[in-house]
Amino acid sequence: MTEVRKRSVMIAGHPTSVTLEAPFWDALKELAAAEGLSVNALIERVDATRTGNLSSALRVHILAAFRPPGSKPV
């Protein structure tokens, strides 16, 4: 089973916590680095466009980033 990690982050100047499994945190760090952003900045960007739970929105963002271009959901 994958370890779940809860981390505190600042979003728009407000502290909040995000709970993700370790591989998602690793992928989030990788995506942020590739875009020249801090992890917090990437989380803020996802937060600004989400409609539901932040942790879920981050997982969907990460999944979309790692899918091949043009791939369709199964």
pLDDT in tens, 23-61: 999 999 999 999 999 999 999 999 999 988 999 999 999
The pTM score is 0.87
Q: What angle do CA 49, 24, 38 make, to 5 degrees?
A: 60
74 belongs to a structural domain = no
Domain ranges, residue 47: 4-10+21-66
15 belongs to a structural domain = no
Residue 69 confidence class, pLDDT cut points 50, 70, 90: confident
Query: Does 2 score more than 90 pLDDT?
Result: no
One-letter amino acid identity for 57? A
Residue 73 confidence class, pLDDT cut points 50, 70, 90: low
User: Which ranges in the chain belong to alpha helices (H)?
Assistant: 22-34, 39-49, 54-66
73 belongs to a structural domain = no
72 belongs to a structural domain = no
60 belongs to a structural domain = yes
pLDDT mean over 58-72: 88
Report the alpha-carbon distance of residue 74 to residue 72 in Å, rounded.
6
Q: How many domains does the chain have?
A: 1
40 belongs to a structural domain = yes
Six token digits for residue 21: 């499994």
> Does residue 55 contact residue 20 with C-beta atoms inside 8 Å?
yes
